[in-house]
């Protein structure tokens, strides 16, 4: 579509949508990327109330109301319509079509739609409380992708539902050699979907955004003021071949990240830019692996420190400190418990001679439920870990030889949230060959734990089965009483 056709249809379809939808419904078009000379479709969003009994409109009625010849549903909340480019109403009722498995449209031969005669109108339903955020997030083409790219390495995620903060511990968990099964929701905080608030936190001028951007240069200048732009992250990304390939397929990424940002890098000199540009063009000049590794290690260390600072600023700015603290405690506990359980399982395979995961997990469950862990240091100051399941064991800095582990089976079941198995592991910060800081774990006093398990694993298994039988008997008695 030409710009003239695009803007003409935008006005006509907006009026038609508003006339056929309830007064409380919001209707908006997504602002296209600046300086476009051709348009493939017109994007609309309409709001719906989440408490409404029926949030979705009658798509067929909606198609007829805007004069569409046909429509395709992509899901319960998205659809595409074919409307005459001249803005006229199609004289017949709209026909619903279906996408074939190869992605092409299944259209009767007699009603094949010509791109020259029809325009595509895309419509998406958005929850009322997310409407303002969505118009911000989804406008200006790849703006949301660029913003998401900027904030990601500093622990934030920008999505169609708002700005999210990822705990460093969540990302650390994902890099562990064993699956910890920590859900994303357990390691993320949702600061806000208020676009003005988010822009203020990111140091982006909301007034400038609301006025709009006539050129790509204006958009880049606005986006370039984001305080989360990190040169450490950009330099690391530029040395990542996979990242370069992905971004090379999207012109706006190249234009902003590889051209505009580099040209506007603070304190950058002309020679710096020339050197950086030569790096983008894959200069054949060989790199020193050791120098590159040291540079990456320094950049990643600085990035991790900056991420920690921003997380604290965010939880203060958005009043999420209490939630952040609770989730941080929980994810550290869950990660340590999962890692300790994995290490214990490996030891159990050795001392029992069994490789049956079901039976091994049975013993691990019993350990979590019925074993108290006591940690003592060389100074003989014993700590009862149950008082603080996340307390760092004595001897973490002195070395494993200074720490003594004592295990004790108890009759009273320990609540899952207070399980002490995680106190058996020590954390260490290590840097990999790419300069990435990783959290590594090792078992405290492995010999003592191995010896104890060799002596008590059968007792633990029997205790778990006995308690399970008792619980089953109680459930059956309760059921019988309810029936009688």
Q: Residue 402's domain spans which residues?
A: 332-481
* 327 in any annotated domain: no
| Separation between Cα atoms, residue 10 and residue 41, nearest integer Å | 10
Give me the residue label for tokens 């108890």.
410
According to the model, what pLDDT value does residue 66 have? 95
| Separation between Cα atoms, residue 346 and residue 349, nearest integer Å | 5
Give the tens place of pLDDT for each residue, 196-239. Answer: 999 999 999 999 999 999 999 999 999 999 999 987 766 655 45
If one counts the domains in the chain, the total is: 3
Query: Is there a single domain that holds both residue 293 and residue 370?
Result: no
Query: Is there a single domain that holds both residue 55 and residue 149?
Result: no
Query: Is there a single domain that holds both residue 165 and residue 288?
Result: yes
| Separation between Cα atoms, residue 187 and residue 449, nearest integer Å | 30
Query: Is there a single domain that holds both residue 117 and residue 209?
Result: no
| Separation between Cα atoms, residue 149 and residue 131, nearest integer Å | 22
Nearest to 427 by CA among 418, 437, 417: 437
Query: Is there a single domain that holds both residue 250 and residue 184?
Result: yes
* 336 in any annotated domain: yes
Tokens found for residue 198: 């988010």
Whether the CB-CB separation of 360 and 350 falls below 8 Å is answered with no
* 326 in any annotated domain: no
Q: Can you give the three-state secondary structure of the chain, one letter per residue?
A: CCHHHHHHHHHHHHHHHHHHCCCCCCEEECCCCCCCCCCCEEEEEEEECCCCCCCCCCHHHHHHHCCCCEEEEEECCEEEEEEECCCCCCCCCCEEEEECCCCCEECCHHHCCCCCCEEEEEEEEEEHHHHHHHHHHCCCCCHHHHHHHHHHCCCEEEECCEEEEECHHHHHHHCCCCCCCCCHHHHEEEEECCHHHHHHHHCCCHHHHHHCCCCHHHHHHHHCCCCCCCHHHHHHHHCCHHHHHHHHCCHHHHHHHHHHHHHCCCCCCHHHHHHHHHHHCCCCCCCCHHHHHHHHHHHHHHHHHHHHHHHHHHHHHCCCHHHHHHHHHHHHHHHHHHHHHHHHHHHHHHHHCCCCHHHHHHHHHHHHHHEEEEEEECCCCEEEHHHCCCCCCCCCCCCHHHEEEEEEECCCCCCHHHCCHHHHEEEEEEECCCCCEEEEEEECCHHHHHHHHHHHHHHHHHHHHHHHHHHHHHHHHHHHHHHC
| Separation between Cα atoms, residue 101 and residue 346, nearest integer Å | 46
Residues in the chain: 484
Give the tens place of pLDDT for each residue, 314-340. Answer: 999 999 999 999 999 999 999 999 999
Query: Is there a single domain that holds both residue 271 and residue 346?
Result: no
| Separation between Cα atoms, residue 172 and residue 440, nearest integer Å | 9
Query: Is there a single domain that holds both residue 355 and residue 234?
Result: no
* 324 in any annotated domain: no
Nearest to 446 by CA among 334, 340, 333: 340
Whether the CB-CB separation of 400 and 426 falls below 8 Å is answered with yes
Whether the CB-CB separation of 160 and 193 falls below 8 Å is answered with no
Torsion sign over Cα 165, 168, 174, 180: negative
pLDDT per residue of the chain (484 residues) written in tens, 0 to 9:
899 999 999 999 999 999 998 888 999 999 998 988 888 899 999 998 877 656 678 999 999 999 999 999 999 899 999 999 999 999 999 999 987 755 555 555 444 545 458 999 999 999 999 999 999 999 998 899 999 999 998 999 999 999 999 999 999 999 888 899 899 999 999 999 999 999 999 999 999 999 999 999 999 999 999 999 987 766 655 455 555 555 555 568 888 988 898 888 876 434 344 344 434 443 444 556 555 566 677 778 888 899 999 999 999 999 999 999 999 999 999 999 999 999 999 999 999 998 999 999 999 999 999 999 999 875 544 444 444 333 333 334 445 457 889 999 998 899 988 999 999 999 888 777 666 777 889 999 999 999 999 999 999 999 988 888 876 766 666 766 676 5
422 class by beta-carbon count within 10 Å (0-12 exposed, 13-18 middle, 19+ buried): buried
Q: Which residues are CB-neighbours of 458 under 8 A, at least 6 positions away?
A: none
* 245 in any annotated domain: yes
* 88 in any annotated domain: yes
Query: Is there a single domain that holds both residue 174 and residue 190?
Result: yes
Residue that finishes a domain, picked among 115, 134, 153: 134
According to the model, what pLDDT value does residue 279 have? 45
Query: Is there a single domain that holds both residue 386 and residue 473?
Result: yes
Give me the residue label for tokens 């990783």.
438
Residue that finishes a domain, picked among 287, 319, 351: 319
Query: Is there a single domain that holds both residue 151 and residue 269?
Result: yes
* 42 in any annotated domain: yes
* 325 in any annotated domain: no
Query: Is there a single domain that holds both residue 249 and residue 104?
Result: no
According to the model, what pLDDT value does residue 65 have? 95
Residue that finishes a domain, picked among 284, 319, 354: 319
CATH number of the domain within which 127 lies: 3.30.460.10
Query: Is there a single domain that holds both residue 284 and residue 362?
Result: no
């Amino acid at each position: 579509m030409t710009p003239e056709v695009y803007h003409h249809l935008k006005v006509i379809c907006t009026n038609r949508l508003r006339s056929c939808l309830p007064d409380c419904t919001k209707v908006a078009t997504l602002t296209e990327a600046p300086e476009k000379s051709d348009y493939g479709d017109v994007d609309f969003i309409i709001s719906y109330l989440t408490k409404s009994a029926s949030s979705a409109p009658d798509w067929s009625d909606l198609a007829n109301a805007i004069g569409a010849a046909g429509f395709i549903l992509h899901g319960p909340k998205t659809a595409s319509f074919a409307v005459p480019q001249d803005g006229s109403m199609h004289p017949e009722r709209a026909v619903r079509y279906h996408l074939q498995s190869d992605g092409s449209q299944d259209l009767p031969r007699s009603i094949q739609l010509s791109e020259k005669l029809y325009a595509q109108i895309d419509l998406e339903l958005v929850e009322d409380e997310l409407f303002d955020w969505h118009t911000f997030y989804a406008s200006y083409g790849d703006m949301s992708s660029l913003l998401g790219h900027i904030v990601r390495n500093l622990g934030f995620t920008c999505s169609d539902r708002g700005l999210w903060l990822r705990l460093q511990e969540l990302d650390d968990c994902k890099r562990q050699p064993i699956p910890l099964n920590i859900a994303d929701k357990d390691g993320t905080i949702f600061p806000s979907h208020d676009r003005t608030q988010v822009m203020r936190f990111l140091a982006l001028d909301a007034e400038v955004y609301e006025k709009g951007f006539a050129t790509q240069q204006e958009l880049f200048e606005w986006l370039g003021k984001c305080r989360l732009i990190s040169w450490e992250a950009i330099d690391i990304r530029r040395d990542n071949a996979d990242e370069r390939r992905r971004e090379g397929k999207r012109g706006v990424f190249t234009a902003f990240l590889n051209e505009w940002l580099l040209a506007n890098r603070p304190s950058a000199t002309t020679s710096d830019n020339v050197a950086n540009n030569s790096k983008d063009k894959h200069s054949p000049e060989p790199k020193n692996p050791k120098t590159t590794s040291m540079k990456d290690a320094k950049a990643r260390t600085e990035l991790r420190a900056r991420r920690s600072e921003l997380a604290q600023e965010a939880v203060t700015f958005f009043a999420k400190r209490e939630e952040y603290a609770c989730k941080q405690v929980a994810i550290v506990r869950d990660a340590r418990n999962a890692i300790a359980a994995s290490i214990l399982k490996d030891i159990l395979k050795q001392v029992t001679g069994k490789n049956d995961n079901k039976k091994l997990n049975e013993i691990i469950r019993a350990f979590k439920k019925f074993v108290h862990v006591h940690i003592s240091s060389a100074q003989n100051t014993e700590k009862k870990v149950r008082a603080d399941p996340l307390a760092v064991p004595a001897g973490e800095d002195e070395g494993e030889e200074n720490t003594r582990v004592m295990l004790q089976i108890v009759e009273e079941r320990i609540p899952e949230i207070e399980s002490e198995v995680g106190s058996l592991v020590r954390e260490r910060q290590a840097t990999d060959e790419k300069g990435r800081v990783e959290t590594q774990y090792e078992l405290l006093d492995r010999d003592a734990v191995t010896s104890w398990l060799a002596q008590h694993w059968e007792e633990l298994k029997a205790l778990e089965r006995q308690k399970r039988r008792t619980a089953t008997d109680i459930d059956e008695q309760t059921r019988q009483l309810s029936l009688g």
